[in-house]
Amino acid sequence: MTVGLVVVSHSRALARAAVGLAQEMLHGKQIKIAVAAGLDDTTFGTDAAQIVDAIMAAEQGEGVVVLMDLGSAVLSAELAVELLDDDIRKRVVLCPAPLVEGLVVAAVAAAGGAGAEEVAAEAAGALAGKIGHLGAVAATPGPDVTGEGLTGSFVVANPHGLHARPAARLVQEVRRRDAHALIRNRTADSDWVDAGSLSKIATLGVRSGDEVEVRISGSQAAEALEHVLALARRNFDEALTDAALTTPASAQHVGTPSAHGGPIGASPGLGIGPARSARRGPVSIPDVPAEEPAVEWRRLGKAIATVRRAIGQLRSRTARDVGEAEASIFDAHQLLLDDDALLDDVRARIDAGGSAVAAWSAAVRDLGAEFEAVPDPYLQARAEDVAAVGDQVLRAMLGSSASAAESSGVLIAPDLTPAEAAELDPARVCGVLLAFGSPHAHNVILLRAKGIPVVIGAGPEALAISDGTTIAVNGTRGEYVVDPREDVRADFEARVASVAQRQRLARDRAPEPAVTRDGIAVGVGANVGSVDDARAAAALGAEFAGLVRTEFLFLGRHDAPDVEEQVAVYRKIAESLEGRRITLRTLDVGGDKPLEFLPAPAEMNPFLGVRGIRLSLVHRELLRDQLVAIVQVARHTPVSVMFPMVSTLEEILTARELLADAIARTGRTQPADLQVGMMVEVPAAALKAATFARHVDFLSIGTNDLTQYALAADRNNDAVAALGDTFDPGVLALIAATCHGAAGRATVSVCGEFAADERAVQLLVGMGVGALSVTPPAVPVTKEAVRAVDSCEARRLVDELRSATGAEDVRKRLG
C-alpha cells in the first residue's frame, strides 16, 4: 500500500495531463492518483463533494495528499476535508505545492514508500531545483504601484452595473490566481472590500458609468490585474445589446413587466381554480441545542456540497436547454456558497454556540439585508438570489423539500425555470400566471406543449394574490380575473367545460385527415424530440413528423453519437410513427446551445453566431456522419432531411454536396423516399424563397426564430416580450413572401409555435401553407382548426390584413 494522491483543479483536461506526466516518471510503478477537476469535461470549477469522492477513492490506509491549483480549489478542498469522517480526515494532508511540479515529486515520493507528511514535504519543495538553477526572480513592477500591491481602474459600461453575472465573472477571475484583490467604487468614494467576495462587491452599488478601482497583491498580482482589466474591457463577457437586460427565469427576480405594460397570452386555453404561489413557504428554524462546533460546521458543509452539486446540474441543463447566457446566473449562486464573508460570519456564529441551521439562517438574512440596502433597484433585487440559495441550503440541512411540481390550481410566480415547467402536471395545474417572462422562452414553450394555459407579464401585483383565491386565466387572450363574481365565474366555468368538450371531440376525430370546408387537404404533423414524443404523436393522429430535433442525441454527452447509434434511434422514431414520413433536421446547436464535446469560443451574440448549418459546415465530419445515417434510414422508410438556419444559397448548395457524398457512400442512387428541405428562420431566407425553392423540395418556416430575427426581439428577454409577436404584420409578410416565392417549385410548411395557434391556422392556409407541424398534444385541435377554414375566405382575410397596423390590430380583425 502507498500514499494516495488527489489532484484538485479547475480544469479536468489540465488535471488529466498533469497525472499523465506524473505517471511517466514512475516507470511502471503503480500508485493511486484520483482526479477531482472541473464541473464536467469543459466547464471550469471545483466541487467539494467530488473531492470527497476522490479522497475516498485514493485512500488505501496510508493516507492521502491533496494538491490544488488555485483560488477556490483550495476552499473546496478545505470544505471537502471538513466533510470527511474523523478517522479519514486525520490521514489527509492538504499540500501547498505547485500543482504540476508538486504532483510529479509527490508521485515519485509516494511510489518510493514515503508517508503522507513526507510526500507533502517533498512536493512543497518541488520548485527548489528551478530556483537553484535560475535563481529567485523578483516580480516585475506592474502598472501604477500604489500602496500595497498593484492598482488599476475601469469604468463599468454594463447597463445594470456590477450585478450578479458580471460580478461573478470578476470574482472567478480573481480567485483563479495566487493573489488577493480589493475593490472599491471610486465614483461613490466607497471603502475597499474583498474582490473575491460576491456579497461584498454587491454592497458597493456599482452602477453603469461608475469608475471602479482595484488593488491586487500576491505572487500573481500583475497577471491578475491584467486579466481583471481585460475582463472589464470586454464588459465582463456580457452582451450590452440585450443580454445584460435579460434575467433568466431561474433567477425569479422582480423586474420590468412586458414592454406594452400589460399581460400577454403565451399559451392558449382557459383555466380556473385556486391560486397557488410557486414560492416556497418560509423554512421553520427548529429551536434545538447546538452540538460541538465541528459537528455543526460539518453539517453545514455537507448541505453546501449537496446544494452546489444540485446547482451545477441545473446550470448544465439550463445551458443545454436554454443557453449559456441564461445559465451563467448560476455562477453567482455557486459563488455565494463559497463566499468568504458569508462563511466567516456563519463560522463565527457556530463557534459562539449557535447551531448550523440558526447560524446559516441569520447570516443569510443579514447578507440579504445588505443587498436590499443598496440604492440601485436592480441590485436590490439580488437579495432574492441570496434568499433562494440560503433556502436551498437550509432545506438540505433539515431534509425538507418543496417544489412547484406539487402545486395544483392556478400557479402564480415571478417566472419559472424550464426544469420547474417540465415538472408541472397538466392534470393538477389548470393555468399559470407569471408576473414577468417571455412568450417564446423555453419554459413557456414547455407549458404550451403540455397544454397548460399561460399568461405572462402580469406584473408584480400578481404576486400579491393570496393562496386559495379563485382566479380565471385566459391564455389565448392574455387575460386573468381575480376572485370573479359568481356570474362571471359560472360563465367562465361553462367556457372551460365547452373547450374541454371540444378537445375531446377533436381527439375522437384525430385519426381523420384535416380538410378545409372547401375540400383542400392540409397535412398536420408533429414536432418531436424523442422516441416517446413520436409514439405520442402517432397516438394523437399526427400524419408525419414535421420536425425531429436530432440534437437530443448530441446534447449532454462527452462524445458524438456514431452512425450506428443515430440509425438505430431514427429507425425507432420511424417505427413509432408506423411508417409515416419523418423530417430529420440536421444538428441545430451552437451559439446558445453548446455541445460539451465540441467546445467553442464565447460569442457576444450567440443568436447571430455560429449555430445551425453554420456550425455543421465548420465541423463537417459531424454532418457527414449524420447524413450517412439519415440516408441509410431513408432506404427503408420515407424521410425528409432538413437543414437549419440557412441564410445563403452557398450554404444549401454545400449541404447538398455533402448529402450527395453520403448517398454515394451508402448506395449509387438517392433513395426514392428521400426529400430535401431547409428551415426558413432568417428574414433574408424568406425574401429569397424563389431562389432556394429551385434547390429543395420543401421550405419549413420556423416562426419562433423568424419572429425574433425580424423584430430584433430576443425571445428570452422579458423586457421585449411584447415585441416578439408573430401576429405582427411584418412577420406575416415574410411568411407570405416565402409561400409566394416557393409557389410551383417547392411546398411550404410551418413547424414553429405559430402553427398551433388556432387563430393563425386560417391565415397560414390563406397564404398557401400546405402543412402544419405542432407539438403532439396540439395535433387534434389543429386538425379541427383546419376543418373550420374556407380557403377562399382565408385568402380574402390575408389580403385585408395587409393594411393592419400591428399585432393587436391583426387580432382584432381575426375576432
Cα–Cα distance for residue pair 651/667, rounded to 1 Å: 24
The DSSP code sequence of 760-814 is HHHHHHHHT--EEEE-GGGHHHHHHHHHT--HHHHHHHHHHGGG--SHHHHHHHH
758-767 and 779-787 helices cross at what angle (nearest 10)? 60
Cα–Cα distance for residue pair 326/318, rounded to 1 Å: 7
Among 10, 430, 442, 739, the active-site one is 442
Tell me which residue of 88, 97, 101, 112 sits closest to 31, measured CA to CA. Answer: 112
Cell numbers 448549418 correspond to what residue?
Answer: 613
Cell numbers 440601485 correspond to what residue?
Answer: 376
Q: What angle do CA 68, 343, 290 make, to 5 degrees?
A: 120
Cα–Cα distance for residue pair 735/726, rounded to 1 Å: 10
The DSSP code sequence of 7-35 is EEES-HHHHHHHHHHHHHTTTT----EEE
Cα–Cα distance for residue pair 343/364, rounded to 1 Å: 10
Q: Is 739 a catalytic residue?
A: no
Backbone angles phi, psi at 177, to 5 degrees: -130, 160
Contact present, 630 and 673 (Cβ < 8 Å):
no
Among 95, 430, 739, 751, the active-site one is 751
Tell me which residue of 573, 567, 566, 511 sits closest to 548, measured CA to CA. Answer: 573
Cell numbers 458543509 correspond to what residue?
Answer: 301
Cα–Cα distance for residue pair 483/598, rounded to 1 Å: 52
Give the containing element (helix H, strand E) for 162: none
Tell me which residue of 32, 41, 53, 33 sits closest to 12, measured CA to CA. Answer: 41
**Burial status of residue 269 (CB atoms within 10 A of its CB: 0-12, 13-18, 19 or more):** buried
User: What is the dihedral sign for C-alpha 270, 271, 276, 278?
Assistant: negative
Tell me which residue of 464, 82, 492, 110 sits closest to 271, measured CA to CA. Answer: 492
User: What is the dihedral sign for C-alpha 306, 310, 311, 315?
Assistant: positive
CA gyration radius for the chain? 29
User: What is the dihedral sign for C-alpha 153, 154, 155, 156?
Assistant: negative
Cα–Cα distance for residue pair 502/709, rounded to 1 Å: 35
User: Which residues, 6+ apart, have CB-to-CB distance to 306 below 8 Å?
Assistant: 49, 396
Cα–Cα distance for residue pair 119/2, rounded to 1 Å: 11
Tell me which residue of 280, 310, 307 sits closest to 407, measured CA to CA. Answer: 280
Backbone angles phi, psi at 624, to 5 degrees: -60, -45
Distinct helix (H) and strand (E) counts, the chain:
33, 23
Contact present, 233 and 156 (Cβ < 8 Å):
no
User: Which residues, 6+ apart, have CB-to-CB distance to 118 below 8 Å?
Assistant: 109
Q: Is 442 a catalytic residue?
A: yes
User: What is the dihedral sign for C-alpha 614, 615, 621, 623?
Assistant: negative
Contact present, 391 and 265 (Cβ < 8 Å):
no
Q: Which residues are known catalytic residues? A: 442, 751
